[in-house]
Structure 1
Amino acid sequence: MSKLAVCSLAALAFSAAAHAADIDVQLGSTERVTRLFAYPNNCNVICFRNWTLEQTVEHYLTQSVQRDGYGTAKVSVKRDKDKVYAHISGVPKGYGQPLTALLNAGDLAYTGATKLNSEKKWAYNWYLFLPLGMALENRKSIELLHFPPDYSLTQAQDYLESATTDRWASLLTDNGVPAAQTPGYQTIIDIAPIAAPSNAGQTLEGLYGYFNAYQTTMVKQLTQTTGGASLPMVAFGAPVRNWIKTQYGQTVNVLGLATITPAGGTPVPVLGSNHPSYIWYAADKDNYDGDEAKADAAGLKVMGQDLSAACWQAGMGSKPGTDPTTQLNQCTQTWQVTQKEKTCELFYTTIRKLTPEEAAKTCDTPAIKTQLPQLKAPMPLPAEPV
């Protein structure tokens, strides 16, 4: 390693150490912290994880500091009388501000959920679940989604642990984002902050208005960096894209671009995308009377769209200030034209579960090779299930 590189690394380490601090953040009353951290996360006489309230809060805050890149930071949570306090070491002294802002937004979500319940519209198997454990400070992009799956709370106790987020993280790595850095790109806002079974989408669709104050507050806060710059946002799935239209008056189709301006905020570039799990529905042969060739053709089309969307997200997040349209054009050209064979192979390895050798062989067959030049062409696809 050159002396210059050694000096640069030393300077970075010194800078990080110089800015590291010990902070104390009052999280609120025991009652407030209990509801905002969904405590206990899974207790039905027997607790799946028999954690105290303090341990639960420490768990999620530790996820946040790690995803912000503060690997040596330590979190401890204590109660003093009726107040709960977090002590965090090894983070910038202003680190408590985004945490406080998240919890204040959480109060708005709780108010909406309480009203929903008072009107007999809350289901017995729903849980209020804020996007805990996300990067609070060093975000690269925002993901706007529908609602978190219940098992992310009750089983994983990790907002980023789901089939949806796992698949999208893999697409980000396919686009050059190191696996360890994908959480920085996956700061999530769900328009329904309710952990629910996967089939709850249609029921939730008519209830977004209860959370309007929470939704708009979160979009405004999370799409801005601490320096005031805008972060790119991807809107996943038809319900979310429709919400963008209702809330901000912008139409966002799949691989369509728009700009929204949250009240009092800065303009935010938004890309429309399929829901990350839509590909399994689109590529299901049962939707085509058992015709696997048609199912594969639809799956290939969606794979090209999804890789292009993840490419845009990765490019915009890693190079702030990039022109959104230029970035999107480069991405669609890459995954739907230049590297269409790679798109094909990724579909067959990740969705059809073929080996890399089997996928390459399949993508080289005449039947598939004739389809690949059509990846960029319009194609009717089954409507997204809600």
Structure 2
Amino acid sequence: MLKLTGLAFAALTLSATAHADVDLKLGSTERVTRLFAYPNNCNVICFRPWTLEQTVEHYLTQSVQRDGYSAAKVRVKTDNHQLYADISGVPKGYEKPLAALLDAGDLAYTGAKKLNADSKWAYNWYLFLPLGMALENRKSVELLHFPPDYSLTQAQDYLRSATTDRWATLLTDNGIPAEQTPGYQTIIDIAPIAAPASAGKDLEGVYGYFKDYQTTMVKEVSQNTKGAALPMVAFGAPVRYWIKQQYGVTVDVLGLATISPKTGLNVPVLGSNHPSYIWYAANPDSYTGDDAQATADAAGLTVMGQDLSAACWQAGMGSKPGSDPAAQLKSCTQTWQVTQKEKTCELFYTSIRNLTPEQAAAKCATTPIKAQLQQLKAPAPATAIPAPAL
């Protein structure tokens, strides 16, 4: 649980304010049960036999830790069928973003009920809100497709998945300490549905049911506590298309746009590959011909360069609010696709091909790989079969 440890990085700067107690009425037992997907992991036998109160405490504790309030305590109690959260060791007003998240969750629940009434809800889907993430000390926003079911049923952690873990690693490759990456990974999924990782295609056509939830979430989380816009990364083709439908702007991979979720708020948006796309693009089975392995390596190198550049932009914009988005992107692409392309190559072979650092360095020094690196900024080779709707 690397993301939940070592969060003392903020303790010194926050200690002066993190000493208040805040109370929040979460709502009726029925409301809290559905908004926290309770029970998260029961199928006759519960993987973790927690009560409703313990489940809520679990996610709220994740939030306060990821906000940097390592000494904060969360207590949840039920009184006359109403649940209340008491959080000590956090600033006054800390409950407001949590209340806003739960109010948006009511909109998601309404959409899910309508989806089911129209016979479009699958038996193995779960309504799952982005619980447990930083509520106050957010640095950037990640717009994604849907959370995988195991993040809910096994991990009970919205930030535990192959997708989020890989992107956190790319953020650390760009200078963000591992314990700080949760602050950069405030996620909005356009489908708030925990589903099997292969369900991307099945979820096409459901997004309209969650329009009120989606737009409300974007309004709520795309600015910091001082009202400044936070940078947003739009991951994957379905999400980038949703941006175009909802806000009328086109964001290709490593393309920039600006959206205005509400009057006076201009949010810079960068288009990116889905974090998991590289495993498909770099899979030799995605190509035909005798040189499928070489083609897959070339595609993987290209996607790795794009992904590192996108994570670099996110890290730079998040750590220095108000930076010029275009200048930041130019600097990042220059870094990872030109001046440090050998490092990009080595990171591809260690993280995707599972080579040792020494093996990766030797691989990247070979003549064929050097030739591929010369074309690093070129589009990835076309695959023989369509890319999945990640």
Compute the TM-score of the two structures, normalised by the length of structure 1.
Answer: 0.95
Instruction: Give, in angstroms, the shift of residue 20 of structure 1.
Output: 2.0
**Corresponding residue for residue 385 of structure 1:** 388
| 2:299 is aligned with 1:301 | no
Residues 238, 384 of structure 1: 8 Å contact kept: no
Between the aligned partners of 1:98 and 1:24, the Cα distance in structure 2 is: 13
- 2:4 is matched with none
Q: Tell me the distance in 2 between the aligned counterparts of 1:142 and 1:179.
A: 17
Task: Write out aligned runs for 1:1-386 (5 A).
Answer: 13=12, 16-264=15-263, 266-289=265-288, 291-382=292-383, 383-386=386-389
Report the Cα distance in structure 2 between the residues aligned to 1:206 and 1:358, rounded to whole angstroms.
Answer: 45
Alpha-carbon distance in structure 1 between the residues aligned to 2:322 and 2:147: 30
| Distance (whole Å) between structure 1 residues aligned to residue 265 and residue 209 of structure 2 | 25
CA-to-partner distance for each residue in 1:228-259, whole Å, 9 max, x for gaps?
Answer: 10000000000000000000000000000000
Q: After superposition, what is the alpha-carbon deviation per residue over 1:7-52, rounded to whole angstroms, capped at 9, x for unaligned?
A: xxxxx84862445201111000110000000000011111111000
Structure 2 CA distance for aligned equivalents of residues 373 and 220 of structure 1: 41
* Change in CA separation of 1:362 and 1:48 when aligned onto 2, cut-off 3 Å: same
Query: Does the residue aligned with 1:314 lie in a helix, a strand or coil?
Result: helix
Distance in 2, Cα, partners of 1:38 & 1:46: 16
**Shift in Å, 1:348:** 0.3
Where 1:50 maps in the other structure, the secondary structure is: coil
How far apart are the structure 2 equivalents of 1:205 and 1:212? 14
CA contact (8 A) 2:14 2:69 kept: no
Aligned length: 376
CA contact (8 A) 2:39 2:52 kept: yes
RMSD in angstroms over aligned alpha carbons? 1.3
Structure-2 separation of matches of 1:379 and 1:286? 15
Matched letter for residue 42 of structure 1: N
Worse-superposed segment, 256-265 or 181-190: 256-265
Unaligned runs of 5+ in 1: 1-11
Where 1:156 maps in the other structure, the secondary structure is coil
Give the CA deviation at 1:102. Answer: 0.2
Give the Cα separation in 1 of the matches to 2:182 and 2:230: 15
Letter of the 2:85 counterpart: A
CA displacement at 1:225 relative to structure 2: 1.1
Q: For residues 143 and 246 of structure 1, do their structure 2 counterparts lie closer, same or farther at Cα, with a shift above 3 Å needed? A: same
Measure, in 1, the Cα distance between the counterparts of 2:17 and 2:220.
27
CA shift at 1:381, angstroms? Answer: 3.6
Q: Is the Cα–Cα contact under 8 Å of residues 237 and 384 in structure 1 kept in the other structure?
A: no
**Distance in 2 between residues matched to 1:204 and 1:260, nearest whole Å:** 24
Partner of 1:200, secondary structure, is coil
Which amino acid letter does the alignment assign opposite residue 15 of structure 2?
A
Residues in 2 aligned to 1:150 and 1:226: alpha-carbon distance in whole angstroms: 31
8 A contact 1:233–1:268 mirrored in 2: yes
Aligned partner of residue 94 in structure 1, secondary structure: coil
- TM-score of the superposition, structure 2-length normalised? 0.94
Segment of structure 1 superposing worse, 165-174 or 376-385: 376-385
In structure 2, what is the Cα distance between the partners aligned to 1:222 and 1:41? 25
Question: Residue deviations 1:314-365, cap 9 Å, x none?
Answer: 0000011110000000000000000000000000000000000000000000
Q: Which amino acid aligns with 1:192?
A: A
What is the CA–CA distance in structure 1 between the aligned matches of 2:18 and 2:307, rounded to whole Å? 38
SS in 2 for 1:111: helix
Contact 1:220 1:265 in 2 (8 A): no
> Any stretches of 5+ residues in structure 2 without a counterpart?
1-10
Worse-matched range after superposition: 147-156 or 196-205: 196-205
